[in-house]
Amino acid sequence: MTVGIYYIEPMQWLDGGIKRSFIDNKLDVTLRFTDIFRSQDLKITSEIGQSKLGINQYFNQQAISINLRYNFSKRNTNKQTRSNDTLEEMDRAGVN
């Protein structure tokens, strides 16, 4: 991509992740990778007359992160309550 007198090369990098659930889907473990191939760099070149300029900058964004999430609530409690509320509402409305 040319901007004025500068040529900026396209940037690309690859991020990825894996998620796994344990203990009846209450514990989620996520492993994430940022800039896997260490390719997130900026390259700019310019040539004006006899002068040449080159910039190569790496943003140092390569990282690994682990996320743990545990759900303490009971999953079926809300569904049962909603069902009972709906039945009570239907009784009040005279549907049953």
- The CA distance from 57 to 55, in Å, is 6
Instruction: Report which residue type is found at 14.
Output: L
Q: Which domain holds residue 21?
A: 2-93
Residue 84 phi, psi dihedral angles, 5° rounding: -65, -40
Comparison of pLDDT for 73 and 74, the residue scoring more: 73
- The CA distance from 56 to 10, in Å, is 12
pLDDT for res 63: 93
Comparison of pLDDT for 24 and 2, the residue scoring more: 24
Tell me the pLDDT tens digit for each residue of 42-65. 999 998 888 889 999 988 889 999
Are the beta carbons of 37 and 12 closer than 8 angstroms?
Answer: no
Total number of domains in the chain? 1
